[in-house]
Amino acid sequence: MRQHTADPVPATHIPCYVFDSNRDAARHVARTIANTIRERNAFGQRAVLGLATGSTPVSVYRELIRMHHEEGLDLSGVVTFNLDEYYGLSPAQVQSYHQWMDESLFNHVNIPRENIHILDGTLPPGEVEEHCRRFEDAIRRAGGIDVQLLGIGRNGHIGFNEPPAVRASRTRLVTLDSTTRKDAASDFFHLENVPTQALTMGVGTILEAKKIFLLAFGEHKSRIIRDAVEGPVNDRVPASFLRDHPGVAFLLDDAAADDLTGRATPWLLGAVAWDEMLVKRAVLWLCHQTGKALLKLDVDDFRQFGLHELMRDWGPASKLAHRVFRGLMDTIEYHPAGTQPRRVLCFSPHPDDDVISMGGSLTRMAQDGHEVHVAYMTSGNIAVFDHDARQLADLMTELNRRFGIDEQKTPHLEIEVLQTLAEKKPGQPDSDAVRHIKTIIRWSEAKAAAEVCGVREEHMHFLDLPFYQTGTVAKKPPTEEDYRRVRELIDRLQPDQVFVAGDLSDPHGTHRVCAQLIFETLRELEETAGRRPDVLLYRGAWQEWALHVIQIAVPLSPDDVKTKKQAIFRHESQKDSALFPGPDDPREFWQRAEDRNRNTADLYNRVGLPEYYAMEAFVRWDGAML
């Protein structure tokens, strides 16, 4: 197996390494853990692991499972301690970390049950303190934690050590911060269902581990990563306490590292090796610093903000500014698929990502005469409110009664649906019947929305990928059947151009899995057939491409935006109050899309380019994996 190398980031108080993909980072950690286990096994000793939960470490556990089954990694001597657990949840509840760890790791490897330690969130208040003390004692008796895995919250928490954190804190019951509860709302299907308290290892407990790996992936983690590794040690950023540890490392992907000085503005740290992308980034940064448009920048601006070496190596100020100006002008493209007829395929992870992210471009391509296809990769059924399912069941019953279609089976179905929904607890998976009804709702909305953009019904493909079919926010790892469905569609259509969601801030992780499926299929196609289609990446409701990376910007008129909004409105189950709106953003999806597109146009205008009403932005896939 190849080595997974990473680039170190300069000028950070905690060692930070940026990997090409989150899977490479996960494999690096899994290899380190495996080496520790094998070393301990060789001496008849136990390896002690501190484990985290959530979407970030799941790839580590999948790699450990693979090594156990394919490489004979023996975990029978491993002892584990989990970081935390919600207080008030039984181990059988789907959101419990007991359940999550069983499904993600323990049920697939040979760690003895008596070696697994997870905090008990069901204890009465009077027994919690003693339980936490015994948990700490068990760690000490095991010889301390050899390798501790961590994620990081948007508020900087590690474990559930919320700000303001205490460096010497031990395992205890804590009250959850509002940011943490908002981030967990999708797991519990609504904020009001998220527990207000949790049990967690303390910061002091974590710092006693011999080695610590903190993993962070995605744009939504970039700011708190910067605060943790470049700012002062601060109880408002609990992860900053980790810089006192001699064996800690942060493992990041490009997106999570993007706000670090050594990545965002490396010229501020000293001499750099300038290339086209870095030149573009630096000159656009200078526009932001000075408040000037590109063609108004002068020599004094470059000197004042420390870019004199850039002028020395790449030409005078006017030449540099004009170079970047021309490059941005070349990104403006009214016809994203060109003017000659082509077959275009847009992959939409959820049933509304296509119109939210690139509804204007879909419409433009259909108007240009291209054969536009949309592939809806998942059903999106978990994002439908129960009341919408009740309403459709009632509608079906009444419609069938009035038209004399079925006056027997449909009423029984409605009764079954109403009964199962009434008995369902928050976050519990729906029954098969309810899931089918919610799938039909999203299917109908997706068809109606795509038709607004000019996509023909026979060019809409509903893949219903199996990895998504859990009925909960947590998804299964992709299987060969997921790959087969994606591969079969690409082989059948032979598209000239493919659009893929490159939004890694999607809180469900579905976008990341879908992109992985597509990218691996396209790389296989390139290796076997020596070709692949032109691949463009779009962003969704959560984030937009930065100005310096945009390669195609499609101008939209007010009428174009109006059409796009009409398409988004067809997703009625997601309007007004979506089930998974994402944290800290009360805007509806159509508002986010319009604001984002208009902001992109404004960014172009601010640096002196033509003023458009709105723009949709894309970058070309460079062949890298997630």
The set of catalytic residues is: 162
CA nearest to 287, candidates 267, 307, 272: 307
Asked whether the beta carbons of 176 and 162 are under 8 A apart, the reply is yes
Dist. CA 558–CA 567, nearest whole Å: 14
DSSP track, 533-597:
-EEEEE--SS----TTT--EEEEE-HHHHHHHHHHHHT-GGGSSS-S---TT--S-HHHHHHHHH
Tell me the two tokens of residue 431: 């029954």
What residues form DSSP beta bridges with 375? 347, 461
For residues 42 and 32, what is the distance between their CA atoms, to the nearest angstrom?
15
DSSP state of 122: T
Contact yes or no for 95/106 (Cβ under 8 A): no
DSSP string, 6-23: -EEPSS-SS-EEEESSHH
Contact between 519 and 621 under an 8 Å Cβ cutoff? The reply is: yes
> CB of 56 within 8 A of CB of 151?
yes
**Token digits for 374?**
């949309």
Distance of CA 108 to CAs 80, 92, 349, 463, 496, Å?
15, 18, 28, 28, 41
Look at strands 197-200 and 84-86 and give their pairing: antiparallel
Q: Which two tokens stand for residue 313?
A: 């190596």
For 72, the 3-state DSSP assignment is coil
Q: 3-class SS at 147?
A: strand
**Cis check: omega of the bond before 164, within 30 degrees of 0:** yes
**Contact call for residues 220 and 256 (beta carbons, < 8 A):** no
Q: Please report which residue ranges of 306-377 form alpha helices under DSSP H.
A: 308-314, 317-331, 353-367
Helices in 208-293 by DSSP H: which ranges?
Answer: 222-230, 261-264, 276-290
Q: Which residues have CB under 8 Å from 404's CB, separation 6+?
A: none
Q: Which long-range contacts (CB under 8 A, 24 or more apart) does 312-319 make?
A: 313/274, 314/274, 314/279
Tokens of 128: 């919690």
Residue 428 burial (C-beta neighbours within 10 Å; 0-12, 13-18, 19+)? middle
**Residue 363 DSSP code:** H
**Cβ count near 127 (within 10 Å):** 11
Is the separation of the CB atoms in 109 and 30 below 8 Å? no
Place of tokens 């919250």: 153
Question: Taking the C-alpha atoms of 121, 123, 125 and 129 in order, what is their torsion angle to the nearest 10 degrees?
Answer: -80
User: Which of 286, 310, 306 lies closest to 296, judged by CA?
Assistant: 286
SS3 (DSSP) at 453: coil
